[in-house]
Amino acid sequence: MAARPEKNPSSDSSHTGRRQATSYDVARHAGVSQSAVSRCFKDGASVSKKMRDRVMKSVKELGYQPNAIARGLITRRSNMVGVIVSNLNFYPEVLSELSARFTDRGVHVLLFTIDHESDVGRIIDQLWQYQVDGVVVAAHLEQDQVALFEERNVPVVFYNRSYQDVPVSSVCCDQVEGERKLVNLLVEGQHHSFAVIGGPKDSVVSMQRTQGAIDRLHSLGISDIVQADGDYTYQSGRVALQEVVKQRGTVPDAIICANDIMAIGCMDEARYHLNLDVPGDVSVVGFDGVRSASWSSYDLTTIQQPVESMAEAAVSMLLDRVDNEQLPPEKRSFSGVLRRGSSVRE
Amino acid sequence: MAARPEKNPSSDSSHTGRRQATSYDVARHAGVSQSAVSRCFKDGASVSKKMRDRVMKSVKELGYQPNAIARGLITRRSNMVGVIVSNLNFYPEVLSELSARFTDRGVHVLLFTIDHESDVGRIIDQLWQYQVDGVVVAAHLEQDQVALFEERNVPVVFYNRSYQDVPVSSVCCDQVEGERKLVNLLVEGQHHSFAVIGGPKDSVVSMQRTQGAIDRLHSLGISDIVQADGDYTYQSGRVALQEVVKQRGTVPDAIICANDIMAIGCMDEARYHLNLDVPGDVSVVGFDGVRSASWSSYDLTTIQQPVESMAEAAVSMLLDRVDNEQLPPEKRSFSGVLRRGSSVRE
């Protein structure tokens, strides 16, 4: 799509014709200096009650609104944070939690959505231009992109991404521990053959989950494992199960999916297209604990991410670093909770 | 939660210590005036190639990024739009579509999420402060709140909300027409008794849908109708069906839900808790066409909202009005598409 043309001069001037009151207008109306008006809108600035009353009377009469953007130029703080999310459809709860928590603290969210995690580079320039106070990233960045935040002195917290050798703050669900819990449950339940279905290739979370499951299976002496890849969508879960059956000639005892939505796709494919009983013929597990996983039709066994705790941690870590940029990077890892549904034979 | 404290002076000064290059630094480095630097970053401004090369060399060496916020103060355009969504969990596709389309046009999204549609008043002040170029509202505003946009000269487009007697732009799915299609299908399929399950009381869309269904049923001579209210959630759909059965002593022939997620809750309640067959014992229809409605476990008959067309219309209508504020308000209404699943007895 084409870039927008610049606003033409004629509409610009008509805008000015009905322009909003400025702090200059307020100062003139109240018969005080502009800096006195500014002080009335600055927390902690010294202003007499008489002066404040006088200014506020003019503010009210003129319908003046202090300009947060102009104030940001003075305080060097925009009171905006950037939030970068990939695959928005899979993160509505996370975005909702982050947005509500920032809003509660008087901070606004500049939203960037990207289709593929690898697209993130092109939006970083835009972040600098808006001089956001900090950024929460729920998408994959290359290490050299991560370093840009440090160079620019912009605090950043990664949500559900971590970088082992890069000193950067992150909040994660422990993917590997979660997969260990799922595998342990399945192996205790006498499942001997497995399929592991991964998400998009550029997703680090998916990689950690699938590798976590495979490593745990290996460590328990299980080698009857086939792998297939999806892209986190329902349809890709269905296709992956078809592929698994094609590879093995039959369904395995259990299918471990890198997220809940693909697990839901697997369950529907098994039940409605392969005429299999879940969990009678095949057990299915997911990861995330999304709402639909708990619907009675699925009642999926999964790892529930503690989204509220993770969002709260991300918001407070970020704002702490905006307030005090000397704070060192910190990695926080939250355990997911095994949610035992009825999609696993026990 | 408490408001954030102002940044303390000591961390502020350390920030300045590692500060980013300004246009002043670039001008000094290149040996040109500051206004020459500004012109290099202004579309359509006259700058010689020699001057531009000289400035750009310094820009590169100093790692200068033009400040979009400061530029906004000069051009009176922030290149930011506000997007207000309620019940984010039910609108991930819409937000994703809007965000991607604004980004394609170089416009950034300042996101406001609200828990209840009636909360919207408190965020309007914040919108003024950020001097957004325009606002897309997917939440309910009172008529006097709508008028504030006009007074402030801020273009606004309502998404899936319309105001009959207020001259304001909106993009809607035709809720009443959609319900007529659903009712026609059900009545042709020999359904004689009905339940209509509404959404939250402050949702205008829910009101239009339930009233649209009831009016159409009445016009076809059907009066065996019970009503119950949910809040658009899965769980509320289940509870509403229990209430319907309690009111009538038995299930009606068909249940018309104001959105898909409640319809999914009804289907699960009917199948897994009341041991009823859907559609054998009871037909269920929804509205929206969300992804989960098409999953094999549900295969819900519903009205598919044309989200892509609606989002594109909202974005282009808004930006047209940012560019030319003389454009009159416009209401656009899109027909939803009847998606015939297997949740209705035919």
Distance CA A26, CA A64 (A): 7
Residues whose CB falls within 8 Å of the CB of residue B269, separated by 6 or more in sequence, listed in order: A296, B237, B238, B241, B242
Q: How high is the pLDDT of residue B82? A: 94
- Residues of chain B with Cβ-Cβ distance to A91 below 8 Å are 92
Q: Which of A108, A109, A260, A318 to mutate to test the interface with B (most CBs of B within 10 A)?
A: A108
- Return the CATH superfamily for domain A22-66: lambda repressor-like DNA-binding domains (1.10.260.40)
Residues whose CB falls within 8 Å of the CB of residue A193, separated by 6 or more in sequence, listed in order: A224, A225, A248, A252, A253, A254
**Option in A88, A100, A296 nearest B268 (CB):** A296
Residue A116: pLDDT band (50, 70, 90) is low
- Residues of chain A with Cβ-Cβ distance to B284 below 8 Å are none
Residue A163, burial from CB neighbour count under 10 angstroms (0-12, 13-18, 19+) = middle
- Write the CA distances from B277 to B115, B157, B251, B273, integer angstroms: 35, 43, 11, 11
Mark yes or no for CB contact A131/B69 under 8 Å: yes
Q: Which of A81, A130, A231 to mutate to test the interface with B (most CBs of B within 10 A)?
A: A130
Q: How high is the pLDDT of residue A134? A: 95
Residues whose CB falls within 8 Å of the CB of residue B203, separated by 6 or more in sequence, listed in order: B117, B140, B232, B258
CA distance A68 to chain B (A): 5
Mark yes or no for CB contact A322/B7 under 8 Å: yes
Q: How high is the pLDDT of residue B117? A: 60
Q: Is the pTM of this model over 0.90?
A: no
Distance CA B84, CA A99 (A): 11
In terms of C-beta distances under 8 Å and separation of at least 24 residues, what long-range contacts does B175-178 make, across chains too? Answer: B175/B205, B175/B208, B175/B209, B175/B212, B175/B287, B176/B208, B176/B209, B176/B211, B176/B212, B176/B215, B177/B212, B177/B335, B177/B336, B178/B209, B178/B212, B178/B287, B178/B303, B178/B335, B178/B336, B178/B338
CA distance B322 to chain A (A): 8
Residue B271: Cβ within 10 Å count: 17
The predicted complex's ipTM stands at 0.76
Mark yes or no for CB contact B76/A15 under 8 Å: yes
- Residues of chain B with Cβ-Cβ distance to A85 below 8 Å are none
CATH architecture of B175-305: 3-Layer(aba) Sandwich (3.40)
Residue A143: pLDDT band (50, 70, 90) is confident
Q: Searching chain A, which residue's CA lies closest to the CA of residue B264?
A: A295
Q: Where in chain A is the domain with CATH 1.10.260.40?
A: 22-66
Q: Searching chain A, which residue's CA lies closest to the CA of residue B105?
A: A3
- Residues of chain A with Cβ-Cβ distance to B92 below 8 Å are 88-89, 91-92
- Return the CATH superfamily for domain B15-66: lambda repressor-like DNA-binding domains (1.10.260.40)
Q: Where in chain B is the domain with CATH 1.10.260.40?
A: 15-66
**Option in A111, A130, A152 nearest B20 (CB):** A152
CA distance A173 to chain B (A): 21
**Option in B12, B104, B325 nearest A15 (CB):** B325
Q: How high is the pLDDT of residue A33? A: 81
- Residues of chain B with Cβ-Cβ distance to A153 below 8 Å are 15, 18, 20
Ranges of residues in chain B with a pLDDT under 70 are 1-20, 41-45, 65-76, 87-90, 116-122
CATH topology assigned to domain B80-173+307-334: Rossmann fold (3.40.50)
CATH topology assigned to domain A80-174+307-335: Rossmann fold (3.40.50)
Q: How high is the pLDDT of residue A103? A: 84
Mark yes or no for CB contact A20/B107 under 8 Å: no
pLDDT in tens, A57-74: 887 788 776 665 555 555
pLDDT greater than 60 at residue A3: no
Residue A237: Cβ within 10 Å count: 30
Residue A7: pLDDT band (50, 70, 90) is very low
pLDDT in tens, A314-338: 999 999 999 998 899 999 999 999 9
Is the pLDDT higher at A163 or at A220?
A220
